[in-house]
Structure 1
């Protein structure tokens, strides 16, 4: 009995020894959930554009609506010096013209009469001049009284004045021998109004042409009440026109109204800008007003709202760090940061929503 049990125990020990001597099966090691080395960097699949934070001056105070207009001195009326009939019209509304370019041809009767008056005045001046010289010589010789020579000289001065008057009238409209006069553009610009047609009449009281200068423009601005105390003449402005115009157009505040409109709770202001592609009178635009402080600028789309604070994502090696920031101003596609970021740091300028969602997990 005891021998049989001993034999059975030895057999079991031998079998266990053989099993232990066998090579271990190669099974894949279990991965722990949440191990970054196992899962990889979750942002590697995102095509994240970056932007470098930079220090800027003229911090934007805000963006306001505006309307492009012409300055008062930019519109010039072209009038006819004499009434007459329109022979030809050379331009149409909207046409660009150079200074001195012909706008229309008018024939009038007055210039013909003025030409005759001028010829008679010149003849009379020649006669009175010769008489004044002759009487002056006789007065010097004592043949006649000096008073008669003085009268002759006075008559000559009157004749000279008449000649000068008729010469000015004749030159006023550059009148030709047939009484035609050419109306010309006094400035370079755009023909804003044509009020005559061939065969019609023209008088001296209405303007047959109006030319608008295109060298400078103004913008009428509506400042909200919160900006009324901050905006002053001399501050710089920028307006982005979009389309094919990539660079913003710059200008300057020239006037700010002293009171707030009680109906709109806004303050009217005016800025001057130069001519540029896309700058057209009557166009509505958004204008960014630039202050005189300094800050850190990043693309506006790099800033996102998380909770009740603005944040940016700052690159730290291969990772992105969520960073709360204080926004001083927005405008012109930029956000100016007054606290939370330093110049030279790199922020995410795209895929911000994805980074925000990953950070919330």
Structure 2
């Protein structure tokens, strides 16, 4: 055997005696910051610690987004007529004073004529009252005639003032046209007239809704009736554009004093701010927050097993399904009333696979 062959055999023997220098990692950080445990069966399970939070939701209730009573303003025409032009459509945003429609009516033309006649009669009555007052001072006529003339002048002035007020309504022009304007800034919620259509003085051809302030009408279950108070914080769950749930905060502003015997619920009202997805008439779920502390886990860590809520808790190297009582859900978290302790580790992913393994 050559010296080169002997050296090669010695090197191979030395490499065979070395221990393995790499092995699969048991844990690695997930992309969202959660720990991912590599299980023996190949499952990559993201974990989450049971955390303690403040302002625990004491419960959830269904609600409907509404506008405050003062947020809806009807726009009426002071005189019946015909719509010459309509400047807005439903849903359009308007500023205060923006024109909504131009209406022509016959009555304003008559009122303008009456105003002109009333002004002329007022000037005539004023001149007559002054003349008779001077004659009464000189003793030429009786004071009673001067008093009568003064009374006629006061009546003429009142008639002129009334005609002027009527003529000033709706920005009436000399041709009898009136401009209906938006009384507040907001959104045109209703347009009840078309160009060429009639407008009467009893109906409201336009309704404008103020934006920026909304309310939620709640139906509190009987168990929450004694706990909810004005001033408590609420969170309204809304669907986001990318599928992610959004939440809008607010406060309870009123709670009804009695329970509805038909529904066994209590009506309440909360104020919330404006946000994408906040639309009057939308049905939402509202979480009501108390002042205490509680425990929370990711909402998707909770699963139903045999009709009850469970989470998978790490116990040593195993995952154990443990029954829990969920008090409420809010902002992607499930508030746990019973069944867990702070600091315990639960499975935040692959819950369906763990559930299937447990059923085998």
User: Which TM-score applies when normalising by structure 1?
Assistant: 0.74
Matched, 1:78 2:75: yes
**Residues 1-361 of structure 1: matches in 2 within 5 Å?**
41=26, 43-44=37-38, 46=44, 48=46, 50=48, 53-57=51-55, 59-244=56-241, 247-301=246-300, 329-332=327-330, 333-336=332-335, 341=341, 350-351=348-349, 353=351
Deviation at 1:323, TM superposition (A): 12
CA offsets, 1:322-345, max 9 Å, x none? 898986832212244578655xx5
CA offsets, 1:188-214, max 9 Å, x none? 222222222222222112222222223
Moved more, 197-206 or 265-274: 265-274
> In 1, distance between residues paired with 2:353 and 2:85?
70
> In 1, distance between residues paired with 2:74 and 2:90?
14
Deviation at 1:266, TM superposition (A): 2.8
Moved more, 155-164 or 333-342: 333-342
* Alpha-carbon spacing, 1:142–1:293, altered in 2? closer, same or farther (3 Å): farther
Deviation at 1:85, TM superposition (A): 1.7
Deviation at 1:113, TM superposition (A): 0.8
CA contact (8 A) 1:84 1:202 kept: yes
Deviation at 1:347, TM superposition (A): 5.3
Gaps of 5+ in 1: 1-25, 29-37
> In 2, distance between residues paired with 1:278 and 1:309?
30
CA contact (8 A) 1:314 1:323 kept: no
Deviation at 1:98, TM superposition (A): 1.9
Moved more, 194-203 or 302-311: 302-311
> In 1, distance between residues paired with 2:108 and 2:352?
80
> In 2, distance between residues paired with 1:166 and 1:133?
24
Deviation at 1:216, TM superposition (A): 2.3
Deviation at 1:112, TM superposition (A): 0.7
**What is the DSSP-based 3-state SS (H/G/I as helix, E as strand, rest coil) of the residue aligned with 1:250?**
strand
Deviation at 1:107, TM superposition (A): 0.8
> In 1, distance between residues paired with 2:199 and 2:177?
13
CA contact (8 A) 1:56 1:297 kept: no
Gaps of 5+ in 2: 1-14, 18-22, 28-36
User: Which TM-score applies when normalising by structure 2?
Assistant: 0.74
CA contact (8 A) 2:54 2:291 kept: no
Moved more, 296-305 or 140-149: 296-305
**What is the DSSP-based 3-state SS (H/G/I as helix, E as strand, rest coil) of the residue aligned with 1:187?**
coil
CA contact (8 A) 1:97 1:189 kept: yes
Q: Once superposed, what is the RMSD of the aligned Cα atoms?
A: 4.2
* Alpha-carbon spacing, 1:27–1:186, altered in 2? closer, same or farther (3 Å): closer
In our comparison, the structure showing a higher alpha carbon Rg is 1
**What is the DSSP-based 3-state SS (H/G/I as helix, E as strand, rest coil) of the residue aligned with 1:173?**
helix
Deviation at 1:118, TM superposition (A): 0.7
> In 1, distance between residues paired with 2:318 and 2:126?
98
Q: Give the total of aligned pairs.
A: 326
CA contact (8 A) 2:309 2:326 kept: no
Residue in 1 aligned with 2:34? none
> In 2, distance between residues paired with 1:346 and 1:68?
38
**What is the DSSP-based 3-state SS (H/G/I as helix, E as strand, rest coil) of the residue aligned with 1:99?**
coil
CA contact (8 A) 1:128 1:156 kept: yes
